[in-house]
Amino acid sequence: MYGLVNKGIQNMVCSRFGEEIWRKIKQKAEVETDFFLSMEGYPDDITHRLIKAASVVLDLSPSEIMAAFGEFWVEYASQEGYGEMMDMTGDTLPEFLENLDNLHTRIGISFPKLQPPSFECTDVEEDSLSLHYHSHREGLAPMVFGLVKGLGNRFDIEVEITQTHSKNDGAEHDEFLVKHKPH
């Protein structure tokens, strides 16, 4: 994964829990990097170790950490220079989710080794849709919960998300039911 992701984890932890907690997480994860370079590639293992260590230090499940990070990521990515691209991705939650793969393609110009997940929307109704999440990486589906919540905040709508199919249970890919309505 690119350093931007690890930097995002660091920023989330430092902004919510402080620098000392971040140092404890890095120590527990056996990560000696003082700072992550956004455009630099890092082994996925570093990210997984940071999540596991954060889980222990913060006494939260890895899924809770991933969901919190997903929600944080939406605002963080916008502030890190991707806000305009995000603005062009869609004016509504369904439109944005439908265009996520296009957003990742545009971002891939700056990050040539990017291996993003793929998203597909089906059963799109006025207030709900099925979101299909395809990733070669294991264990990141919980982040989708947070991403959708973060996008709900971005679009100032109320969202409810439930997982309907899981790769962990043998499904081909993860699938979520996303219900949305104005506040």
How do residues 108-159 score in pLDDT, each as one tens digit?
A: 888 888 889 999 999 999 999 999 999 988 888 999 999 999 999 999 999 9
CA nearest 93: which of 64, 132, 124, 135?
124
- Residue 22: per-residue pLDDT: 97
* Overall average pLDDT of the 31-57 stretch: 92
* Overall average pLDDT of the 51-71 stretch: 96
Q: Is the pTM of this model over 0.85?
A: yes
Tokens of 42: 């890092």
Q: Tell the CATH superfamily of the 90-182 domain.
A: H-NOX domain (3.90.1520.10)
For the chain, the distance separating the N- and C-terminal CA atoms, rounded to the nearest angstrom, is: 35
Q: Parse the chain into domains and list their residue ranges.
A: 3-60, 90-182
- Residue 108: per-residue pLDDT: 86
CA nearest 161: which of 147, 172, 182, 171?
147
Q: Is the pLDDT of residue 177 over 80?
A: yes
* 157, 146 contact by CB (below 8 A): no
